[in-house]
Amino acid sequence: MASPALPALLDDARAFSLQIISLSAELWSGDVREVSLPGSEGRFGVMAQHAPLLSTLREGMVSVYPIPPEPPLHVYVSGGYVEVQPGKVIVLADLALRSDDLDQARAQAARDAAGSPMAQQFTDADYARLHAELMHQRNLQLRGLPWK
């Protein structure tokens, strides 16, 4: 019968430390089992015991798989560098945003756009009537075309 400490030892052997740092501050740090990165030559993954590496990053999402197993965390980076050392990975990003922050930023931008004067003009009754009339005229034009 296996001892209860054995799974913990296996998790420790498969874990490494990850830091994601942007120009403004450290965005995330903790122990992970895997990280997937947008390298300048293509996506690549890093797991425990990876060979030392220094690479440039292109714009994209960094996918972080924390320990204990939780849903992956996604972090947008606009570019930067990654350093892989035994037991530690450091991502130095020009700009980094967590996916939940990014979703909140998109939602706020959509709210701002919906409240803009231009958007308000496109939602009034006159605009809807004009749009319906234009669609009706276009439909009449299409009916008059010969079909082969």
- Please report the pLDDT score of residue 119 as a whole number: 54
Q: pTM for this structure?
A: 0.63
β-pairing verdict for 73-77 and 60-66? antiparallel
- Please report the pLDDT score of residue 38 as a whole number: 95
Alpha helices in the chain (DSSP H): 5-13, 99-114, 117-122, 125-144
| Paired tokens of 18 | 């990850």
| Paired tokens of 123 | 């939602």
Encode the chain (148 residues) as per-residue pLDDT tens digits.
Answer: 444 554 444 455 689 999 999 988 899 999 999 999 999 999 999 999 999 999 999 999 999 999 977 889 999 998 999 999 989 999 999 888 887 766 666 666 656 665 656 555 555 677 677 767 877 887 777 777 676 5
CA–CA dist 27, 110 (Å, integer): 25
- Please report the pLDDT score of residue 110 as a whole number: 58
| Paired tokens of 73 | 């965390």
Nearest to 53 by CA among 17, 91, 84: 84
Cα Rg of the chain, angstroms = 25
Alpha helices in 1-98 (DSSP H): 5-13
Peptide bond into 68 cis (omega under 30): yes
